[in-house]
Amino acid sequence: AQSVSQHNHHVILSEAASLELGCNYSYGGTVNLFWYVQYPGQHLQLLLKYFSGDPLVKGIKGFEAEFIKSKFSFNLRKPSVQWSDTAEYFCAVRGTGGFKTIFGAGTRLFVKA
C-alpha cells in the first residue's frame, strides 16, 4: 500500500538547534517527493521538492532534504532553527507521471525563543 510515515508528531527545539525530521515512504515505482509547511494561520505551502538529479535538494529558508532511494527516505534538515520555523511540516510522495499525492500525518515543530 502507498503510504508516508513521519516519525515524530511533535518536536520541540531551542533556537539555533539543528533539525532533522524523518520521512519514509512506501510506493511502487519512481517517485516525486515533497515537503510542505503550514505556518500558524497560513496556508499550506511548498517548502522543497525532489523530482530527479541531485538527491540533496535545497528549499526556502535554509531547509534541505536528502532523498535516499535505498532507504525510501526523504528527511528534512536545517542546521540552525529559528523561532519563525515554528510550524507543521508534511512530507508527501507522488508517483512520476501521476497526480495522486500521498501525505504523511505531519510533524508539529515548536521552536523556543
Decide if 111 contacts 82 (C-beta within 8 A).
yes
From residue 46 to residue 85, what is the string marking binding to other proteins with x (rule CB under 8 A)?
A: x--x-xx---------------------------------
Q: Which is nearer to other proteins, 14 or 58 (CB)?
A: 58
3-state secondary structure of 97: coil
Near other proteins by CB under 8 A: residue from 26, 71, 105, 110: 105
Buried/exposed 64-98: b ≥16 CB within 10 Å, e otherwise: bbbbeeeebbbbbebeebeeebbbbbbbbbbbeee
Number of residues that bind other proteins (CB under 8 A): 22
Q: How far is the CB of 44 from other proteins (least distance, A)?
A: 4
Q: How far is the CB of 3 from other proteins (least distance, A)?
A: 10
3-state secondary structure of 74: strand
Q: Which is nearer to other proteins, 17 or 22 (CB)?
A: 22
Near other proteins by CB under 8 A: residue from 106, 109, 112, 113: 106
Distance of CA 53 to the CA centre of its chain: 18
Residue type, 43: H
How, if at all, do strands 10-14 and 107-112 pair?
parallel
Which residues here bind other proteins, judged by CB under 8 A? 4, 6, 9, 36, 43-46, 49, 51-52, 90, 92, 97, 99-106
